[in-house]
Amino acid sequence: MKTKVLNYNVVFTPEPEGGFTVTVPALRGCVTYGKTLIEAKAMAQEAIELMIETLEDHGEPIPTDNSLIAPMAVLKKIPPKSRTKHSIYA
């Protein structure tokens, strides 16, 4: 049996309570969680494999991921601290 390498962008979002929520934008509904980054990566691998298997079982096409991901800096103006009544007369 032939094998084919499928590449997907995976997003690891740190959670306030700890751990990481993992999403795969190209595979709608492919979401998992890991307590550590290492665990989250392993869970992502498993989730992707299961999603592809499920799509195949249902005769659905397997999406490819042609997206480009790049960090983007955005400038935000921060207003000067507003003066209180007390600081005006200080």
79 is a domain residue: yes
Domain count, the chain: 1
Give pTM, 2 decimals: 0.76
pLDDT in tens, the chain (90 residues): 899 999 999 999 999 999 999 999 999 999 999 999 999 999 999 999 999 999 999 999 999 999 888 889 999 998 888 655 555 555
77 is a domain residue: yes
Could you tell me the residue range of the domain that residue 70 belongs to? 11-88
75 is a domain residue: yes
Q: What DSSP assignment string belongs to the chain?
A: ----------EEEE-TTSSEEEE-TTSTT-EEEESSHHHHHHHHHHHHHHHHHHHHHTTPPPPP--------------PPPPPPHHHHT-
4 is a domain residue: no
CATH of the domain at 54: 3.30.160.250
6 is a domain residue: no
